Amino acid sequence: MRRGYELNILVDATTIIKGRMALVTGFQGFGAVGYLTTRYLVSKLGMSLIGYIEPPYTPDFTSVEEYGLSMPHEIFFKDAGNLGVVVLLNRVNPDRRHLTSFVNAFKTLIEKLRISETYLIGGLDIRFREGDEEFRWLKTKASNVVLDKPYFVKGAYIVGPIASLLLMLENRNIPAIAIFPYTEPESVDHRAAAVAVRVLNSLLGLSVDVQELIKYAEKIEELEKSVQEILSGMEKRESVMHT
């Protein structure tokens, strides 16, 4: 067993580094927005596996993908012309006992691939919404990016690995933007992921179609409506039986 998480790049980094390098990641937090967004980008951009952050233990799950068997924290790359897009796909959240080593491996990834822009995707509890805005955002002090959208809610806590990464990026003076679409905390929110993808399209000059995410969201909403109708019908029948 390793002492912590370790970065493992499978290609010669010098062959993929471009003048502008953007790194996107997220986790299984509120609405699973970060995970859904990164997984969708990997699929729709046809990204190639270039490495992974290896956990300190042998994983007890995997899946069959086009490139072989999956790992918990995989790194993908896409040459998008004048932009190199890197996605860290976290199929699970890092083990809290080894979170410091995960953050250090993330920092090494930024340094090794000469990342100039880092984007973190999370979900924000919809109860914080004050108007009709779709998301809130924040940045580290090293970033010069300004979005014409409401900034993150003052006093609200950011929790989980995304908070740990933000603190490291802030303390290391690394430019980073965090995007938080509103979501129902207990849901799997494809519609919120579509919001995140549209924001990334704007910031990175991409053109990833979000219609598949919207269709997923509509199917889930239809299923939830059907379940509610069934439950409502059962409650009415029980009420009649007990009168």
Sign of dihedral through CA atoms 185, 213, 38, 170? negative
Asked whether residue 109 is domain-assigned, the answer is yes
Between the alpha carbon of residue 26 and those of residues 123, 131, 180, 204, 234, the distances in Å are: 9, 25, 10, 17, 40
Asked whether residue 1 is domain-assigned, the answer is no
Give the residue among 87, 81, 85, 42 at the shortest CA–CA distance from 65: 42
Full domain range(s) for residue 172: 6-209
pLDDT number for residue 221: 77
- Specify whether 197 is located in the same domain as 141: yes
- Specify whether 225 is located in the same domain as 129: no
- Specify whether 140 is located in the same domain as 80: yes
- Specify whether 107 is located in the same domain as 75: yes
Residue 48's CATH number = 3.40.50.10900
- Specify whether 140 is located in the same domain as 161: yes
- Specify whether 128 is located in the same domain as 225: no
- Specify whether 235 is located in the same domain as 164: no
pLDDT number for residue 223: 74
- Specify whether 186 is located in the same domain as 220: no
Give the 3-state secondary structure of residue 122.
Answer: coil
Residues of the chain with pLDDT under 70: 1, 224-225, 227-243
- The torsion region of residue 205 among left (phi > 0), alpha (psi -120 to 50) and beta comes to left
pLDDT number for residue 213: 96
- Specify whether 122 is located in the same domain as 90: yes
Radius of gyration (C-alpha) of the chain in whole angstroms: 20
Give the 3-state secondary structure of residue 132.
Answer: coil
- Specify whether 149 is located in the same domain as 231: no
Q: Say how many residues make up the chain.
A: 243
E-strand ranges in the chain read: 6-9, 21-26, 48-54, 64-65, 68-69, 73-79, 84-90, 117-121, 124-125, 135-139, 176-183
- Specify whether 234 is located in the same domain as 185: no
As for how many domains the chain has, the answer is 2
Asked whether residue 89 is domain-assigned, the answer is yes
Asked whether residue 39 is domain-assigned, the answer is yes
Which residue do the tokens 């849901």 mark? 187
- Specify whether 63 is located in the same domain as 127: yes
